[in-house]
Structure 1
Amino acid sequence: MSKQDSQSNTQTPAKQHNVWVLGDGQLGAMLSHAGQPLAINVRPVDIMTPSDERLPLQGTDIITAEREQWPESSLSLQLSEHPHFINGHVFGRLADRFTQKSLLDELSVPTSPWELVDDNTQTEALHQQYGDRVLLKRRTGGYDGKGQHWLKQAEATDIPADWRNEAIAEQAINFDEEVSIVGVRTQTGECVFYPLTLNLHQDGILMASIAPLTRLDHLQPQAETMLTSVMDELEYVGVMAMECFRVGDKLLVNELAPRVHNSGHWTQSGCHINQFELHLRALCGLPIHKPQVNFQCVMVNLIGVDKDDRWLSLPNAELFWYNKEVRVGRKVGHLNLSAHSNDMVNDSIGQLQQWMPQQYQAPLAWILDEFSR
């Protein structure tokens, strides 16, 4: 072999990827876990606890975030001002519901009719424009049903004084069901997507997801087109989620999330590349291809419940426990159930109905109903 041939066959050493995450909650932890098999060093950072610490950032390190908003501190500034803070210009724009909705309107992406609530907004005018039920949403903050206020004409509810200029008003949508799509955009602008996911919320909190579903296949191109237009406009890199209302055969965007998302947790069990790995691949410029779905999956959020080792006795269950203090309304884990057959799902859900508290009976019945179709 010639010296030239020998040199051409020499493999370039793999690049070391260091990814820092603004936030060290469960999403940061799952990003860290997903990075380990790829030798990506993922470092979630606690930005909620005041600290004068300086992080040993390198010029080639990559910064991402597990949340849309964060308090300003020396740590958060060091991370957010790094030149490789990917999508840094996006988080604030999508964290504000006013600028998020404005973006959707600019792109002609369907969403519920809305307007800014300012000093001149009158409750009666909102009812005349949008009907007897109008939902106010705080522009920033608010999740899992928080930061919302209903204006109900029958109850003569009014706009809270401190919500003016800090909220938007939306028309209530009589939707058939809620769905979401998780997609990824690469550094070169390629977009790939997971199948649409069917979701059930209770008191504004996601309780369960099912994916994929054949009956939603005809909506997949519509959802992909909508999310692609958003990601392209923002020159976004990484995973983004889009929650939608289904009204007949039309989708209306409810909210966008520039990060990995709760409704994509089923991919940890059901796909050969989960949403966390896909996000890291995009950030690091690693090869990406359309994720293969290995089997249908049901995700059950664990909210305000103590860990129950009986869940592990279910033959098709995979438990993800966040090791957080259990509090009412707090997400403390999730269960993924593989759905290789209806009988398997029925047996597992039947067991969970016996083990789980009252607030889970309606979501578990919803799952059984979907698999009885």
Structure 2
Amino acid sequence: MKPVCVLGNGQLGRMLRQAGEPLGIAVYPVGLDAEPESVPFHHAVITAEIERWPETALTRELAEHAAFVNRDIFPRLADRLTQKQLLDSLQLPTAPWQLLASAQEWPGVFSRLGELAIVKRRVGGYDGRGQWRLRHDTAATLPQECYGECIVEQGIAFSGEVSMVGARSTDGHCVFYPLTHNLHEEGILRASVALPQPDARMQQQAETMLAAIMNALGYVGVMAMECFIVGDRLLINELAPRVHNSGHWTQNGASISQFELHLRAILDLPLPKPVIDAPSVMINLIGTDVNSAWLALPLVHLHWYDKEVRPGRKVGHLNLTHSDRTQLQHTLQSLVPLLPEAYHSGLQWAQATL
């Protein structure tokens, strides 16, 4: 089995490495401290865990390597401008948007897009960073450096947020997980809920859209598509050409996790449709110290990233899965006294969504 080198060595790279071990796949996350002689990249398959990886001589070489799967697709999707242009070219639904080139455009922006404008950096910016919610009276607060480097979208009144995580093989075969319902607070994913029998119409709509994107690009591997629910239809918010936070529940709630599925796809291994038998919940641990009391609850699976705990930083997640939704709801309620107050709204949302 060929080894896999991952551009970036955060938690996603760590979980790709963990997923490779049972299959005998050696995975090498590559960050700033990677020594070129310890990374067998000459005979490896190369992938990425993040849109912007650390810049070193080694990562530059990997990024240009012929064995970097999706090498030429990655920068196209990492830039929100070219990502939106792709979706428009495929006639897939998104929020109305435009490039924001200068401050003189604001009157036209509000005239066209409405009273709430969402500004996003074209490259970088995640977990609520690099994004601004602006109205007529606050548009002047946008830093001057953003003009030409950002897109602006219409603020959408949505009833919910979902994501579709799927994978495509080298021969064009696509498989998908059930739609994942997501709760974001201040731009950060707080909780996800996946049901084994999602809304059939919405599931089909999401699968059709994501398949169209992956097929148009000739993409290989796992891709995530975040969407807004607006009435009975989905609007695509953003794409992630990699494994994704909202797919973490698959580690314990699916027959094949998103991390294993990605490795299978890029190594041209069999890609069966993952089996999901029970509802699952994922709770992101953000700026919170580890608490061994979580492990007293039998349905809780702790995934700790072994990172320094800092405010606003993702340091781990909890997965819960069980065929009995009542037991899941009871366990979520039992977590309330074991987590800071900032988590309580997310735990309540997850109980209500099950």
Structure 1 SS opposite 2:189 = strand
Aligned pair count reads 354
Change (3 A) 1:274 1:117: same
Alignment-mate amino acid for residue 24 of structure 2: A
In 2, Cα distance between the equivalents of 1:39 and 1:169? 45
Task: Give per-residue Cα distances to partners, 1:151-180, cap 9 Å, x unaligned.
Answer: 212556454311110000100000110000
In 2, Cα distance between the equivalents of 1:358 and 1:104? 39
Are 2:238 and 1:255 equivalent residues in the alignment? yes
Change (3 A) 1:300 1:286: same
Are 2:8 and 1:23 equivalent residues in the alignment? yes
In 1, Cα distance between the equivalents of 2:262 and 2:196? 23
Equivalent position to 1:36, from 5, 13, 21: 21
1:292-371 matched pairs, under 5 angstroms: 292-371=275-354
Equivalent position to 1:188, from 161, 165, 171: 171
Change (3 A) 1:18 1:144: same
In 1, Cα distance between the equivalents of 2:136 and 2:322? 44
Q: CA RMSD in A?
A: 1.6
1:22-171 matched pairs, under 5 angstroms: 22-46=7-31, 48-49=32-33, 53-54=36-37, 56-57=39-40, 59-119=42-102, 121-155=104-138, 157-171=140-154
In 2, Cα distance between the equivalents of 1:324 and 1:337? 22
Unaligned segments of structure 1, at least 5 residues = 1-15
Report what 2:219 is aligned to: 236
Alignment-mate amino acid for residue 65 of structure 2: H
Unaligned segments of structure 2, at least 5 residues = none
Q: Report if the CA contact (8 A) 1:193-1:224 is conserved.
A: yes
Structure 2 SS opposite 1:220 = helix
In 1, Cα distance between the equivalents of 2:239 and 2:320? 26
Task: Give per-residue Cα distances to partners, 1:303-326, cap 9 Å, x unaligned.
Answer: 010000011011111110001000
Q: Report if the CA contact (8 A) 2:106-2:139 is conserved.
A: no
Alpha-carbon distance, 1:121 to partner: 4.4
Larger Rg belongs to: 1
In 1, Cα distance between the equivalents of 2:196 and 2:158? 18
Structure 2 SS opposite 1:182 = strand
Task: Give per-residue Cα distances to partners, 1:88-144, cap 9 Å, x unaligned.
Answer: 111111111101001100111111100001137421211111111101101111000
Structure 2 SS opposite 1:153 = coil
Report what 1:174 is aligned to: 157
- TM-score, scaled to structure 1: 0.91
In 1, Cα distance between the equivalents of 2:60 and 2:202? 41
Q: Report if the CA contact (8 A) 1:80-1:88 is conserved.
A: yes
Structure 2 SS opposite 1:165 = coil
Q: Report if the CA contact (8 A) 2:5-2:39 is conserved.
A: no
Structure 2 SS opposite 1:40 = coil
Alignment-mate amino acid for residue 259 of structure 2: F
Report what 1:211 is aligned to: 194
Alignment-mate amino acid for residue 70 of structure 1: W
Are 2:205 and 1:222 equivalent residues in the alignment? yes
Alignment-mate amino acid for residue 8 of structure 2: G
Structure 2 SS opposite 1:24 = coil
Alpha-carbon distance, 1:214 to partner: 3.6
Alignment-mate amino acid for residue 223 of structure 1: A
Structure 1 SS opposite 2:199 = helix
Report what 1:13 is aligned to: none
Alpha-carbon distance, 1:59 to partner: 4.4
In 2, Cα distance between the equivalents of 1:110 and 1:43? 37
Q: Report if the CA contact (8 A) 1:54-1:75 is conserved.
A: no
Task: Give per-residue Cα distances to partners, 1:266-285, cap 9 Å, x unaligned.
Answer: 11001111100000001111
Q: Report if the CA contact (8 A) 2:226-2:238 is conserved.
A: yes
Alignment-mate amino acid for residue 49 of structure 2: E
Identity %: 50
